[in-house]
Amino acid sequence: MNPTSLELWRKRFDDQKASGLNVSEWCEKNNFTKYAYYYWKKRVEIANQDETETNKTVVFAEINPSPEPVNNTSAQLQIIWHDLKISITSADRAKLAAEFISHLQKLC
């Protein structure tokens, strides 16, 4: 995609917003079809997304494993809300807790 054309259309979109005119009025005043306007609007949006993806930074984190073995049977999740306490120690209880929370959401 031609960067010059993209930049030109970015300026045109800014101009349209600043003008206070709706798209049809702005296009008529500037001798563009609405189809061209929306075609370039989509192209600019795609280019902006591509630029955002390109500018993302990848970060790595070092994870050091625990020297002691983890005892899975002692793993526990506790959900505490007001006077209610739910302790989850297994996958079956996790499913039950999820169903319970789902019902609570429907009631509240």
Q: What is the pLDDT of residue 42?
A: 93
Res 72 pLDDT > 60: no
The residue range of the domain holding 17 is 5-52
**Would residue 10 count as lying in a domain?**
yes
Same domain for 10 and 47: yes
Same domain for 85 and 48: no
How many domains does one find in the chain?
2
**Would residue 20 count as lying in a domain?**
yes
Q: Residue 79 in 3-state DSSP?
A: strand
Q: DSSP letters along 10-68, please?
A: HHHHHHHHHHT--HHHHHHHTT--HHHHHHHHHHHHHHHHHHHHHTPPP-----PPPSS
pLDDT digits (tens, 9 = 90+) for 84-98: 777 777 777 777 777
**Would residue 70 count as lying in a domain?**
no
**Would residue 46 count as lying in a domain?**
yes
pLDDT digits (tens, 9 = 90+) for 22-62: 999 999 999 999 999 999 999 999 888 877 776 666 677 77
